Structure 1
Amino acid sequence: MALSISAAVLLGIIVVVLIKGGYVRVGSALACTLFGFTLAATGLAPAINNGLASIAGLLSGF
């Protein structure tokens, strides 16, 4: 659970920085966020979570 919260906070910070920098507009960020919530409700969510856990494990090895 701590990994999910950390990833959500990190991705949230990245989105805010991209919006402030003018690289992403608010509408695009909102659409991507809604897509993420929709994707999390599908059967693909466990595979995505496993992939993120694998990447986190790989990065923690460095």
Structure 2
Amino acid sequence: MTTFSISAVVLLGILLVVFLRNKTMKLSYTVLAILFGFFLDKTSAAAPIQQFLTQIANTINQITK
């Protein structure tokens, strides 16, 4: 699970950089998205979201084998 979490963070970070460079996402929206992620992690919704994302990653992994 740790590998998926790190991969997801890297992927989302890359997407944020791409959006910023293409001027499709302003810096304030990026900061808001980052802060939302940090605060969401501290709620009770974090565990179900993590389980859902893990299931999606496992499904994709099963399909690509």
Number of the residue aligned with 1:42: 43
Tell me the C-alpha RMSD between the 2 structures.
0.7
CA distance, structure 1, for counterparts of residue 56 and residue 16 of structure 2:
20
In structure 1, give the amino acid aligned to 2:20. I
For the residue of structure 2 that corresponds to 1:61, the secondary structure is: helix
In the TM superposition, structure 1's runs of 4+ consecutive aligned residues that sit over 3 Å from their partners are none
Identity %: 35
Number of the residue aligned with 1:3: 4
Mark the runs of 5 or more structure 1 residues left unpaired by the alignment: none
For the residue of structure 1 that corresponds to 2:5, the secondary structure is: helix
- TM-score of the superposed pair, with normalisation by structure 2: 0.90
- TM-score of the superposed pair, with normalisation by structure 1: 0.94
Q: Of the two structures, which has the highest relative contact order with CA contacts closer than 8 Å and spacing of 6 or more?
A: 2
CA distance, structure 1, for counterparts of residue 12 and residue 60 of structure 2:
16
Number of the residue aligned with 1:22: 23
Mark the runs of 5 or more structure 2 residues left unpaired by the alignment: none
